[in-house]
Amino acid sequence: MLKKRLAVSVALTTALFTFQSWAEPTFKADVPQEILTPDQVETGIGTLEFFDGLPSPETAAKAYHELDRMRATQAFLDAMPAASLYAMCRGLESAGVVGPAVGIFEDLYNARSLLLTPNTTTVYVFLCTDLSEGPLVIEVPEGLLGALDDAYFRHVVDVGITGPDKGEGGKYLIVPPDYEGPLPEAGYFIVETPSYRNWLFGRAFVGETGLDATVATIKATMRVYPWDERDTLPETGFFNLSDVKFNTIHANDYHFFEEMKAVVDKEPPGALPSELLGLLASIGIRKDQPFEPDENLRKALDEGVAIGNAIARSIVYAPRNRDGHYFEEGNWKTAFVGGNHAFLGDEGERLLDARILFHYYATGITPAMVAATPGKGSQYALANRDSEGRYLDGSKTYAITLQAPIPAKDFWSWVVYDTQTRSLLETDQQFAGVDSKSPDLKANEDGSYTVYFAPEPPPGQDGNWVQTMPGKSWSVVLRLYGPLAPWFDKSWRPGEIELVE
């Protein structure tokens, strides 16, 4: 190292002598100072030193480490949608949902597994595709509400009520990008996707016939099978996931990059944005090549993902502006900042912070979640602070009141989430929430509803109580199913979360 530095010193001395011998007669006195690099610059990564714009060895080393760390941070933030969908499919596989099979929450969703901000009132059905072997047929049952998202968590097609079958059910033929075989002219909704791995999520509403009948209908009418087995119609496997412990959430440490390596290796050209592939390649993640970062790069990756995680959590829980708030005052926010499912602004710009917020906090992309269609679909409002702007404390008692009439044609619900995992807060209650269908829920005399969030129920409020946990914070989501005009024109709004004691 000493010899190397000596050689550099000699080279710099030679350069200095050479510059002084010929530069003076041709020096341009009017060179703008703003285009020049000073000999010394103080920065957040230390002092940077230059000779005539040439970085010293120490400065170059600092610059490259910072470049690796910056790209690692940006890779975490930009690749999050792909890592999230990969983690979803990996989690389903770990629970036994492998191949053309369907995971179903026959007893609704509870806190045994880890899933970003799920609801506890509808019957979920999940499946992941592997189109590397060819097209797949999904026979969607009547009355389902859902969508198919690709490997970068981009919307591909809605299915069910908001899809081309309009809730009547139908056959969807999912076609990979490199398929060159024949396709049917009729009888199928043909859907082309840019990726091999895709995720279908559906929700079935429990009607008057009850939960068991809803589940039985799904299992009797939903089928999944390879296109080339359409003549034999193999049986579709269903796996009850309600009490299974499994994880569908991407890593927040170095393992994130290993998850992304698996995504890059799996997907065909064009499945991921080229800019993202370039970003990943710059930190050593390339298709079908070893990912073996050296000690310096590994340190930069560890630092980058830690910073990226802090950025994502700040965007979700501590926003620096009110762009994502529903109202001029208060703490109710939307998961779709900008009101666009593709996170595009009015001028076509990508709303990067909006994309980070959604994919770090939630899952499942469809235009139906942002469509202003009174009486149809669902709308969501989320909060993680009380009326005074303080984070929510699981050891304290809070109350929220919804004034009547509540603008939900079908029903409304509250669900509480763990701020660490963004999944259901695990408590002694079976479901971390309460909804307007709950048999023990009581209205106030004026028709409004007050719900309490606390470790123990206030006296006489067992049916209006959602349990929280001392030592943990929490966030909450209000869901309006069949939202009505007063929600969209903001003539109605939920009350703020008030600290009781």
DSSP notation for 420-436:
TTSSBPP-SSSSSEEET
Contacts of residue 450, defined as CB under 8 A and 6 or more positions apart, other chains included, come to 399, 400, 401, 402, 444, 464
pLDDT band of residue 30 (cuts 50, 70, 90) is confident
CB 313 within 8 A of CB 360: yes
What pLDDT, on the 0 to 100 scale, is given for residue 377?
81
Distance between CA 96 and CA 101 in Å, rounded? 9
What pLDDT, on the 0 to 100 scale, is given for residue 99?
85
What pLDDT, on the 0 to 100 scale, is given for residue 112?
92
Dihedral, CA of residue 432, residue 484, residue 170 and residue 242, to nearest 10: 0
pLDDT above 50: residue 50: yes
pLDDT band of residue 378 (cuts 50, 70, 90) is confident
Q: How high is the mean pLDDT of the chain?
A: 93
- 384: three-class secondary structure by DSSP: coil
pLDDT band of residue 25 (cuts 50, 70, 90) is low
pLDDT above 80: residue 11: no
What's the token pair of residue 61? Answer: 């080393």
Average pLDDT over every residue of 390-403: 98
pLDDT above 60: residue 109: yes
Sign, CA dihedral 190-191-194-196, equals negative
What pLDDT, on the 0 to 100 scale, is given for residue 5?
41
Cα–Cα nearest to 132, from 201, 197, 50, 46: 197
pLDDT band of residue 24 (cuts 50, 70, 90) is low
DSSP 386: -
What pLDDT, on the 0 to 100 scale, is given for residue 3?
40
Distance between CA 414 and CA 466 in Å, rounded? 9
pLDDT above 50: residue 18: no
| Sequence-ordered strand ranges (E) for 44-187 | 46-51, 54-55, 101-104, 123-130, 136-140, 145-149, 155-160, 170-175
What pLDDT, on the 0 to 100 scale, is given for residue 430?
87
Average pLDDT over every residue of 322-327: 95
pLDDT band of residue 26 (cuts 50, 70, 90) is low
Average pLDDT over every residue of 255-278: 98
What pLDDT, on the 0 to 100 scale, is given for residue 227?
97
For 117-175, write each residue's pLDDT tens digit.
Answer: 999 999 999 999 999 999 999 999 999 999 999 999 999 999 999 999 999 999 999 99
For 181-197, write each residue's pLDDT tens digit.
Answer: 999 999 999 999 999 99
